Amino acid sequence: MTAPSMTVSAALERYEPVIGIEVHCQLRTESKMFCACSTAYDGAAPNTHVCPVCLGLPGALPTINRAAVEHVLATGIAIEASSPEKTRWERKNYFYPDLPKGYQISQYEIPLTANGRLTFDTSEGPVTIGITRAHLEEDTAKLIHAAGPGGRRVSLVDFNRSGAPLMEIVTDPDVRSAEQARRYAEELQLLLRAIGASDADMERGQMRVEANVSLRARGTEAFGTRVEVKNMNSFRSVERAIAFEIERQAVALDAGETLSQDTRGWDEDRGETYVMRSKEDSHDYRYFPEPDLPPLRVEAAWLDEIRGRLPELPSARRTRYQEAFELSAYDAQVLVGEPDATELFEAVLATGSRSVEPKAAANWVTGPWLALHKTDADAASRVDAIQLADLLERVACGDLSRTNAKEVFAEHASTGASVASVVESKGFLQISDTDELGRIVDEVIGANPKAVDDFRAGKPVIGFFVGQVMKATRGQANAAIVQDAVREKLDEGAR
């Protein structure tokens, strides 16, 4: 199939996308949802983290993982959802090789949390998406498709993941663009990591995003035929896949075609979706109450205890950074968007240095440090908050030029050496003595008569002279003092 020729903007002129997002995320627990098997199965040999319960053997009985339940309740509090006084478990019935029991223990009628919301910023401003529910279930096993004897394709099953605690978060059909879908997923990942519910790593399959996409003619209320899109393994894929699906459906509707309710996969290399199977409805799963688990009671005191353990949420932290530290919305977004950056920024401020301004700390963390973090995470991890505060103090009081400070920062990150020792070994103490700098300025002006003539002719050459002085002092001169001295000397010569 070739990609649609219509652009998203053209499709949106006549059609309104109606998008709902379903996110499955593996919860951060030591054991599985209904048994004591370890969840530390990454890299383990296949089928070594299993027991009769997660293998679905006859007679095995499940036991609820309290930590998993608390992670879902904490998520509900964080997204401003409500929790019922009593919830229950259901069996979701379907037959697939990765489902050992032929059903999945899940929740349907009474989820642990419901009616929440999540607000985030987009290029068009803030957007709030309603969240229908967040509930608990057990994960499936993992199918491995490989080459077998004689080159034949075989499918193998690894049950290590089977029974791992899984939280499903379902939005209302409030998403209206591919960008909103991506930003929702990004903000949700940040939230889950902040509260410790999940590592939510998409590349490792810890957070799996699916989208239900349909179009309706603008000005109408009835929903169109929805198509589920799977296999989106990055935030970029989420945006690209939904954008493609909007275009594909718009082209089909314009051509008078009837859309089918399909489940489609996303092919990242080809940049298009493809049909996997027809889409199931809830009645296809034949839900009925799980007879081996009693209803779960959620007491108010339990919720209060969980609420009291929650850290500052990303949205609240961004607001605090802007209001208390007068950071820009962009700086606050970048700092909060990378937990390690948040930790370093907070640690620098916690040193109590009066000469370290929050804005300066934010600039160094979102600038040199974050750039290093993206290219060399090990080096970035060696940056010590106390040493970075020392560096910022030296720059603020004029003892170290910003140019040399960058070199000191790089050396500290590379070797772990203290800022003081690097400054001493490199001889980077900033020159602020006006007499000494005046002498160097005189030498530079005397060596560049043509530039002096350019100044007298009204040309902007101040920067040239400042640059020459900085070069002569190996970047150690106080640039502000140099600029004043250059201007004063040239003005005197022009009189």
Across the range 466-489, mean pLDDT stands at: 82
Residue 432 has pLDDT above 80, yes or no: no
pLDDT band at 127 (very low <50, low <70, confident <90, very high): very high
Q: Cα(30)–Cα(52) distance, rounded to whole angstroms?
A: 18
Q: pLDDT tens digit string along 250-299?
A: 999 999 999 999 999 999 999 999 998 776 665 688 999 999 999 999 99
Of 269-273, 344-348, 440-444, the range with the lowest mean pLDDT is 440-444
Structural contact between residues 84 and 298, judged by C-beta atoms closer than 8 angstroms: yes
Q: List CB contacts of 353: < 8 A, sequence separation 6 or more.
A: 389, 392, 393
Q: What is the pLDDT of residue 455?
A: 83
Comparison of pLDDT for 253 and 482, the residue scoring more = 253
Of 9-18, 65-74, 181-190, 373-382, the range with the lowest mean pLDDT is 9-18
pLDDT band at 1 (very low <50, low <70, confident <90, very high): very low
The β-bridge partners of 297 are 86
Query: What is the dihedral sign for C-alpha 300, 303, 308, 314?
Result: negative
Across the range 97-126, mean pLDDT stands at: 94
Of 38-42, 108-112, 149-153, 371-375, the range with the lowest mean pLDDT is 149-153
Query: What is the dihedral sign for C-alpha 344, 347, 351, 357?
Result: positive
Of 5-14, 409-418, 442-451, the range with the lowest mean pLDDT is 5-14
Q: What is the pLDDT of residue 168?
A: 97
Residue 494 has pLDDT above 80, yes or no: no
Across the range 440-466, mean pLDDT stands at: 86
Q: What is the pLDDT of residue 367?
A: 96
Across the range 85-105, mean pLDDT stands at: 93
Q: Cα(74)–Cα(311) distance, rounded to whole angstroms?
A: 10
3-state secondary structure the chain: CCCCCCCHHHHHHHEEEEEEEEEEEECCCCECCCCCCECCCCCCCCCCCCCCCCCCCCCCCCCCCHHHHHHHHHHHHHCCCECCCEECCEEEECCCCCCCCCEEEECCCCCCEEEEEEEEEECCEEEEEEEEEEEEEECCCEEEEEECHHHCEEEEEECCCCCCEEEEEEECCCECCHHHHHHHHHHHHHHHHHCCCCCCCCCCCCEEEEEEEEEEECCCCCCCCCEEEEEECCHHHHHHHHHHHHHHHHHHHHCCCCCCCEEEEEECCCCEEEEEEECCCHHHHCCEECCCCCCEECCHHHHHHHHHHCCCCHHHHHHHHHHHCCCCHHHHHHHHHCHHHHHHHHHHHHCCCCCCCHHHHHHHHHHHHHHHHHHCHHHHHCCCHHHHHHHHHHHHCCCCCHHHHHHHHHHHHHHCCCHHHHHHHHCCCCECCHHHHHHHHHHHHHCCHHHHHHHHCCCCCHHHHHHHHHHHCCCCECHHHHHHHHHHHHHHHHC
Of 2-16, 181-195, 367-381, the range with the lowest mean pLDDT is 2-16
Q: Cα(214)–Cα(175) distance, rounded to whole angstroms?
A: 11
Average pLDDT of the chain to the nearest whole number: 91
Hey, what are 154's tokens?
Answer: 């075989």
pLDDT band at 67 (very low <50, low <70, confident <90, very high): very high
Structural contact between residues 178 and 196, judged by C-beta atoms closer than 8 angstroms: no
Residue 381 has pLDDT above 70, yes or no: yes
Across the range 319-344, mean pLDDT stands at: 95
Q: List CB contacts of 394: < 8 A, sequence separation 6 or more.
A: 400, 405, 419, 423, 430
Least Cα distance to 81 among 20, 193, 170 occurs for 170
Across the range 310-326, mean pLDDT stands at: 96
pLDDT band at 483 (very low <50, low <70, confident <90, very high): confident
Q: List CB contacts of 113: < 8 A, sequence separation 6 or more.
A: 72, 73, 75, 76, 79, 81, 82, 83, 133, 134, 135
The highest-confidence range among 268-282, 380-394, 454-468, by mean pLDDT, is 380-394
Q: What is the pLDDT of residue 493?
A: 67
Q: What is the pLDDT of residue 2?
A: 47
Q: What is the pLDDT of residue 495?
A: 57
The β-bridge partners of 118 are 129
Of 47-56, 203-212, 271-280, the range with the lowest mean pLDDT is 271-280
Q: Cα(95)–Cα(101) distance, rounded to whole angstroms?
A: 9
